Amino acid sequence: MKISEILKNKNRTVSFEFFPPKKIENEQTLFNTIDILKDYNPDFVSITYGAGGSTQDKTIEWTLRIKNEYSLNPMMHLTCVTSTKNSIDKIIDTLKKGNIDNILALRGDLPQDLKDNKMEFKYAYQLVEYLKNKGEFSIGVAGYPEGHPESKTLEEDVEYLKTKIDAGGDFIITQLFFDNNYFFDFLNRLEKHNIKAPVLAGIMPILNLSQMKRFVDMCGASIPKSLSSKLEGKSKEDMYKIGVEYAAAQCSELIENNVRGLHFYTLNKYNATKDILDNLNLN
Ligand code: FAD
């Protein structure tokens, strides 16, 4: 089912993000995770795409499996920066044949050896435009409450986000963030730029501080000092408890403020997402 239709009929969605396991032995972890999280009736689940990597076929395979074997509503992530129109056409064909309704249209991170003059798609808005002209997909796009790392200003960031919505993006899923004020300020900027697409908040609890510090550095997000000092030096168990409690409190505040969706970056594990959801009053 199209996510745009779901969002028309529902005040708030819950969704889970998975990545396609590279190794066969990790597939069982994902099966277990889906088995447990499907009981939370997600409105959709999404499957990430490795820009230029070896897991692209796996992304398509898992998107189809999740629909056919679990009867869940999948959204496939699709990056364009290393793609050609021809390669995108082939993927669109497969998705149409598999009755897949949803695509998250992304640029992807720029490979270091990229030859600019060979690119058929330079920015995500061009992929959105291309997909919109090709078929009947509901299209999501990425948004950055703290700004994309390549953007010079937050205002410029939102102006470019608007080009993705104007090209046919139906909804926005945000990069993870740990301070809700960034999210609320982001919504205010969107309103100022007359962007009316629903915004789903990307949620990821901190279960491993040093790993998360590296990740936020890469994606231009930040960890509040008060939170990192609470987590510093803690055992794995204590860190899990603090990370999950913090994310649950974050979600509660977002719900109180009428967030249109909570999108959980699960990393293919169920525990933390399950514990957060069990803490929330989602009715
Ligand atoms: P764009 O919207 O094209 O923006 C990229 C940069 O270019 C921004 O700084 C933007 O402001 C700027 N820009 C946009 N248009 C113009 C223009 N016309 N002129 C000048 N500058 C412009 N990556 C993966 O590889 N696989 C995934 O599965 C994946 N899933 C993701 C899911 C979510 C929810 C999010 C938030 C990110 C995901 N990413 C994924 C990461 C994403 O690919 C990177 O953040 C990437 O660097 C930017 O992608 P984008 O679609 O936001 O690009």
Tell me which H or E stretch contains 103: strand 102-106
Report CA(22)–ligand 1 centroid distance (Å).
23
Of the candidates 221, 180, 171, the one whose C-alpha atom is nearest the C-alpha of residue 199 is 171
Distance 256 CA to ligand 1 centre (A): 29
How far apart CA 1 and CA 4 sit, in angstroms, is 9
CA 139/CA 81 separation, integer angstroms:
17
For the chain, the domains span 3-280
Please indicate whether residue 77, judged by its CB atom, sits closer than 6 Å to ligand 1: yes
Residue ranges in the chain modelled with pLDDT below 50: none
Retrieve residue 75's tokens.
Answer: 């959204």
Q: Which amino acid appears at position 151 of this protein?
A: S
What is the per-residue pLDDT across 236-255, written as a single tens digit (0 to 9) for each? 999 999 999 999 999 999 99
Task: Pull the structure tokens for residue 183.
Answer: 């999210």
Q: Say if CB 124 and CB 89 are below 8 A apart.
A: no
What's the CA-to-centroid distance between 147 and ligand 1, angstroms? Answer: 10
Helix and strand numbers (H, E) in the chain are: 11, 8
Report how far residue 213's alpha carbon sits from residue 216's, in angstroms, rounded to the nearest whole number.
Answer: 5
Residue of the CA atom closest to atom 13 of ligand 1? 160
- CA 28 – CA 32 distance, rounded (Å): 6
Residues 6+ apart with CB under 8 A from 118: none
Contacts of 229 (CB under 8 A, 6+ apart): none
Bridge partners of 105, per DSSP, are 78, 141
| pLDDT score recorded for residue 50 | 87
Does 107 contact ligand 1 (Cβ within 6 A)?
yes
The verdict on pTM exceeding 0.95 is yes
Q: How far apart are CA 54 and CA 13, in angstroms?
A: 31
Please give the single-letter amino acid code of residue 275. Answer: D
pLDDT value of position 54 = 67
CATH top-level class for 3-280? alpha beta
Query: Best mutation site among 54, 60, 103, 107 for ligand 1, i.e. most ligand atoms within 8 A of its Cβ?
Result: 107
Residue 203 CA to residue 139 CA, distance in Å, equals 20
How far apart, in Å, are the Cα atoms of 168 and each of 163, 172, 198, 253? Answer: 9, 11, 13, 30
What distance in Å separates the CA atoms of residue 186 and residue 279, rounded to the nearest whole number?
Answer: 26
- Nearest CA, atom 29, ligand 1: 48
**Contact at 8 Å (CB) between 65 and 74?**
no
Is 17 considered catalytic here?
Answer: yes
Q: What do you get for the CA distance between the two ends of the chain, in Å?
A: 22
Report pLDDT for 249: 98
By 3-state DSSP, what share of the chain in percent is helix, strand and coil, each rounded to 5?
50, 15, 35
The β-bridge partners of 104 are 77, 140
- What is the rounded distance in angstroms from the CA atom of residue 283 to the CA atom of residue 70? 24
